[in-house]
Amino acid sequence: MHNIEYSNKAKKFLKSLDKHITERILNSLERLKNNPVPSDSKFIGRDKNEEKVFRCRMGDYRALYKLKESEEIILITKIDKRPRVYDN
């Protein structure tokens, strides 16, 4: 079972949303603990540290996360609406 960690950017975005939307997103992300790469996740590529980056879709929102397999950590790096999530 993996642990989920959130970047400061992801935490800030979640705080800006309505409570019911935040709960829906967090419930979707909690499912990653047991299955870090579900069938609806998409492999995006690798970052500078060669960690795998995936996308998780939740309605109009997307979450980008890194899978740190050796440490069993899922780092949620960014959450936003679809057109903005891929901007740096």
Name the pairing type of β-strands 42-46 and 73-81. Answer: unpaired
> How many CB atoms neighbour CB 17 within 10 A?
14
Please tell me the least confidently modeled range out of 12-16, 22-26, 44-48.
44-48
pLDDT of res. 35: 92
- Beta bridge pairs of residue 55: 42, 64
Residue 53: give its domain's CATH number: 3.30.2310.20
Number of domains, the chain: 1
Tokens 């996360």 -> residue: 65
88 confidence band (pLDDT: 50, 70, 90): low
Tell me the per-residue pLDDT of 51-78, one tens digit each, with 9 for 90 and over: 899 999 998 999 999 998 889 999 999 9
Alpha helices in 1-88 (DSSP H): 8-16, 19-30, 82-85
* Domain span at 58: 3-85
> How many CB atoms neighbour CB 61 within 10 A?
18
